[in-house]
């Protein structure tokens, strides 16, 4: 009977079996060539395949060893061996494909033996085409169902292992309950929290959780069971197993199986104590262009918010590289002048004889080279803000002119007798100790107090706990985008090195270190090999115990950093010129290190070297 003879009912069955036909590998074992070829022809014409044939026991075992089959059809009687031997070998090898036995002498004993060994079925000779195809179809269907069941079980097992891994690794406590609100399972975090509380165990009611935490969990879980709803962010204060006063956030949700059948409740308990402390203190990680979550930076943010709205002079102090210019920008942005210009002047970047003209402007012909009128920075800042950086290094003459301008809000451009009146808010910044300069007579006291109506003191990076990681991540993101590389972060070891370094150059130095590392990094992660040698040279935690002031340690400390094999940068009574020369010699002309030791910005060191006519090459 061919498929065309079988009628619509059998044709429908054939269409349903198309998926099986596509990839049904069959092995036929028979020592009669005519039967092998006939069986192969019948099966191949039905679309099954590939169909392999074997004439002997040994040849059949070679086929079975080389590849997997979806069906094996074997004659029971083979030359030298039997199909039962092959069936036994297949089952002992753990193979799962069904076997159909063919026999010319059907009897109860042979049939019973085949079934006992796991044969799917047996066919009596002479074999009819319809019987062969029907048995093959049924065997392949069963095998396909078995493979699908195995696949689903494997997938379920992988999914279970995946969930168990998540369940174990989540830092929050996870507790699952049955419908009677009894503990079914707990993750590692929950077990850790309940380490010394034997009453919290599988089978115990959720109410055994301590105090208000147990009451809240029981109440929320009961609501989930009764209403089949999720209960969000229930927060309670609790002392969980002697951990101290904690704020715990509880979430309760229905636990359902893959068929959406309700099984119980899953509780997620998160310790939000630290988060609460941050919220209560109003901590922010960013404020305008400033970045940092440390208490010191929170104070700075608050000061900027309060002072920004008040139209008064502000003096920003702090070590070089702490972000004084960013504070000035934030003050301007918080003020009522934010829509007007913010004009910045670096007092050390402009030669002394040009600074007056740069600030106040000049008229054509007022001095040699003044071939046209020039509008000074103060006039450019009219109705806005003037930021004077490194104010501590201006000359006595400029100090006097600036004082008069601050007092009168008027000034005279160079070469002009008529005063110019402006409305300018002045923000000044310095990394110098202006109070000491006043005491030494290097800075006018009246100007100092005029500038320091309000002062904002920027902390050095070494005193900003927790900010280094935020800043490093920010710089990595910025430079990775700028350079066009896929750098995404730093290794734990690299971060540990950065934490140990005292950062005499503060945030600016960190920025340069991260930029250099991003350029050198060829992968996604910055490692210790991408960091400059100097950040490995000083480990204050190790060296501070060995350094005692006045001891013969060979270490000099500047701003929390230790410099080996250098004399102290400060010698009482030593003139500034002599001190600069001495430090430059000790650092072999390394101006970056010399500037750090001296407490200068590098541009300040250059200006002072020019002022004292100090040669670059030092003997």
Domain harbouring 483, CATH code: 1.10.8.60
Neighbours of 554 (CB within 10 A): 13
Query: What b/e string do you get for 183-206 counting C-beta neighbours within 10 Å, with b at 16 or more?
Result: beebbebbeebbeeeeebeeeeeb
> Which residues are 117's β-sheet partners?
none
> Would you state the pLDDT for residue 111?
63
Q: Which of 454, 473, 507 is the last residue of a domain?
A: 454
Q: Is 569 helix (H, G, I), strand (E, B) or coil?
A: coil
Nearest residue to 385 (alpha-carbon basis) of 418, 349, 428, 348: 428
Same domain, 432 and 494: no
Q: State the virtual CA torsion across 537, 542, 546, 549 in degrees, nearest 10.
A: 70
Residue 203's Cα: distance from chain center in Å? 39
Same domain, 343 and 472: no
- Cis peptide bond N-terminal to 50, omega within 30: yes
Same domain, 314 and 444: yes
Same domain, 207 and 225: yes
> Would you state the pLDDT for residue 574?
78
DSSP β-ladder status, 314-317 and 290-291 = unpaired
CATH code of the domain in which 72 resides = 3.40.50.2300
> Would you state the pLDDT for residue 558?
41
Q: What is d(CA 48, CA 26) in angstroms, rounded to the nearest whole number?
A: 8
Contacts of 359 (CB under 8 A, 6+ apart): 345, 376, 377, 378, 398, 401, 402
Element (H, E) at 392: none
* Spatial strand order in the sheet of 51-54: 51-54, 26-29, 71-75, 99-103, 121-124
Q: What are phi and psi of 327, to 5 degrees?
A: -65, -40
Q: Are 249 and 203 in contact (CB under 8 A)?
A: no
Q: What is d(CA 421, CA 182) in angstroms, rounded to the nearest whole number?
A: 80
Same domain, 137 and 210: no
CATH code of the domain in which 193 resides = 3.30.450.20
Domain membership flag for residue 246: yes
Nearest residue to 469 (alpha-carbon basis) of 446, 453, 492, 438: 492
Structure tokens given for 571? 């010698």
Q: What is d(CA 361, CA 411) in angstroms, rounded to the nearest whole number?
A: 10
Return the residue matching tokens 């920008």.
329
Same domain, 215 and 346: no
Domain membership flag for residue 404: yes
Same domain, 301 and 228: no
Domain membership flag for residue 573: yes
Q: State the virtual CA torsion across 162, 166, 168, 171 in degrees, nearest 10.
A: 170
Same domain, 292 and 441: yes
C-alpha Rg value of the chain to the nearest Å:
42
Domain membership flag for residue 618: no
Count of domains in the chain? 5
Same domain, 514 and 592: no
- Please tell me the pTM assigned to this model: 0.49
Q: Residues 469, 470, 471, CA angle at the centre, nearest 5°?
A: 95
Same domain, 31 and 101: yes
Same domain, 16 and 36: yes
Residue 602's Cα: distance from chain center in Å? 34
Q: What is d(CA 5, CA 3) in angstroms, rounded to the nearest whole number?
A: 5
> Would you state the pLDDT for residue 567?
47
Neighbours of 221 (CB within 10 A): 25
CATH code of the domain in which 339 resides = 3.40.50.300
User: Which residue stretches of 46-128 are H helix?
Assistant: 57-66, 83-92, 108-116
Same domain, 353 and 496: no
Domain membership flag for residue 619: no
> Which residues are 388's β-sheet partners?
345, 428
Mean pLDDT by 10 residues, the chain (619 residues): 38 46 78 87 87 88 88 83 83 84 69 73 83 88 84 75 60 86 86 80 85 83 87 70 67 80 86 53 79 88 88 90 92 91 86 78 67 80 90 86 87 78 91 88 89 89 88 90 83 86 89 90 86 69 34 38 45 78 75 74 77 65
Domain membership flag for residue 156: no
Nearest residue to 527 (alpha-carbon basis) of 554, 487, 480: 487
Q: Residues 426, 432, 437, CA angle at the centre, nearest 5°?
A: 95
Query: What b/e string do you get for 334-364 counting C-beta neighbours within 10 Å, with b at 16 or more?
Result: bbebeebbbbbbebbebebeebbbbbbbbbe
Domain membership flag for residue 161: no
Query: How buried is 272 (Cβ within 10 angstroms: 0-12 exposed, 13-18 middle, 19+ buried)?
Result: middle
User: Which residue stretches of 382-466 are H helix?
Assistant: 396-408, 434-440, 445-451
Q: Which of 454, 487, 502 is the last residue of a domain?
A: 454
Nearest residue to 380 (alpha-carbon basis) of 336, 339, 343, 414: 343
Structural domain including 466 reads 461-537
Domain membership flag for residue 497: yes
Q: What is d(CA 301, CA 304) in angstroms, rounded to the nearest whole number?
A: 5
Q: Are 503 and 533 in contact (CB under 8 A)?
A: no
Neighbours of 531 (CB within 10 A): 21
Q: What is d(CA 266, CA 177) in angstroms, rounded to the nearest whole number?
A: 6
Q: Residues 414, 415, 419, CA angle at the centre, nearest 5°?
A: 75
Q: Which of 454, 472, 497 is the last residue of a domain?
A: 454
> Would you state the pLDDT for residue 511?
92
Return the residue matching tokens 């069904």.
98
């Amino acid at each position: 009977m061919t498929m065309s003879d079988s009628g619509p009912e059998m044709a429908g069955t054939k269409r349903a079996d198309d998926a099986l036909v596509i990839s049904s590998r069959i092995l036929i074992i028979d020592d009669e060539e005519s039967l092998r070829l006939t069986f192969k022809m019948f099966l191949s014409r039905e679309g099954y395949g590939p169909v392999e044939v074997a004439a002997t026991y040994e040849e059949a075992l070679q086929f079975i060893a080389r590849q997997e089959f979806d069906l094996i059809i074997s004659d029971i009687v083979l030359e030298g061996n039997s199909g039962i031997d092959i069936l036994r070998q297949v089952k002992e090898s753990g193979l799962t494909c069904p076997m159909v036995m063919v026999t010319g002498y059907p009897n109860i004993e042979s049939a019973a033996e085949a079934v006992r060994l796991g044969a799917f079925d047996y066919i009596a000779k002479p074999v009819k085409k319809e019987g062969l195809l029907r048995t093959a179809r049924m065997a392949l269907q069963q095998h396909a169902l078995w493979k699908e069941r195995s696949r689903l079980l494997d997938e379920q097992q992988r999914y279970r292992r995946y969930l168990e891994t998540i369940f174990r690794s989540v830092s929050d406590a996870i507790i699952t309950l049955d419908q009677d609100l009894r503990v079914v399972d707990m993750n590692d975090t929950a077990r850790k929290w309940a380490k010394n509380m034997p009453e919290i165990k599988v089978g115990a009611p959720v109410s055994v959780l301590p105090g208000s935490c147990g009451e809240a969990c029981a109440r929320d879980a009961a609501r989930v069971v009764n209403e089949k709803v999720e209960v969000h962010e229930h927060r309670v204060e609790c002392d969980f197993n002697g951990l101290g006063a904690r704020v715990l956030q509880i979430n309760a949700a229905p636990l359902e199986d893959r068929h959406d059948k309700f099984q119980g409740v899953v509780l997620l308990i998160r310790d939000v104590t630290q988060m609460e402390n941050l919220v209560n203190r109003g901590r922010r990680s960013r404020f305008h262009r400033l970045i940092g979550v440390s208490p010191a930076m929170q104070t700075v943010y608050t000061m900027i918010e309060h002072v920004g709205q008040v139209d008064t002079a502000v003096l920003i102090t702090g070590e070089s590289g702490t972000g004084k210019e960013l504070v000035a920008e934030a003050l301007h942005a918080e003020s009522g002048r934010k829509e007007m210009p913010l004009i910045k002047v670096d007092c050390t970047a402009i030669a002394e004889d040009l600074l007056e003209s740069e600030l106040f402007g000049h008229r054509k012909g007022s001095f040699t080279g003044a071939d046209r009128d020039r509008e000074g920075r103060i006039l450019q800042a009219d109705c806005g803000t003037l930021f004077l950086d490194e104010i501590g290094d201006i000359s006595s003459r400029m100090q006097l002119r600036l004082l008069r301008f601050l007092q009168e809000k008027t000034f005279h451009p160079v070469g002009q007798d008529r005063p110019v009146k402006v409305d300018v808010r002045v923000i000044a910044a310095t990394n110098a100790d202006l109070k000491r300069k006043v005491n030494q007579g290097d800075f006018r006291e009246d100007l100092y107090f005029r500038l320091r109506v309000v002062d904002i003191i920027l902390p050095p990076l070494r005193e900003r706990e927790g900010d280094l990681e935020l800043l490093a991540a920010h710089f990595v993101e910025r430079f990775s985008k700028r350079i066009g590389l896929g750098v995404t972060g730093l290794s734990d070891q690299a971060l540990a090195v950065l934490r140990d370094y005292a950062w005499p150059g503060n945030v600016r130095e960190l920025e340069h270190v991260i930029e250099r590392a991003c350029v050198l990094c060829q992968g996604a992660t910055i490692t210790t090999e991408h960091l400059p040698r100097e950040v490995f040279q000083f480990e204050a935690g190790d060296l501070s115990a060995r350094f005692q002031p006045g001891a013969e340690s060979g270490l000099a400390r500047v701003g929390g950093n230790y410099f080996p094999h250098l004399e102290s940068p400060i010698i009482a009574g030593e003139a500034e010129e002599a001190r600069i020369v001495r430090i430059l010699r000790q650092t072999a002309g390394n101006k970056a290190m010399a500037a750090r030791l001296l407490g200068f910005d590098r541009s300040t060191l250059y200006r002072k070297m020019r002022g004292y006519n100090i040669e670059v090459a030092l003997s």
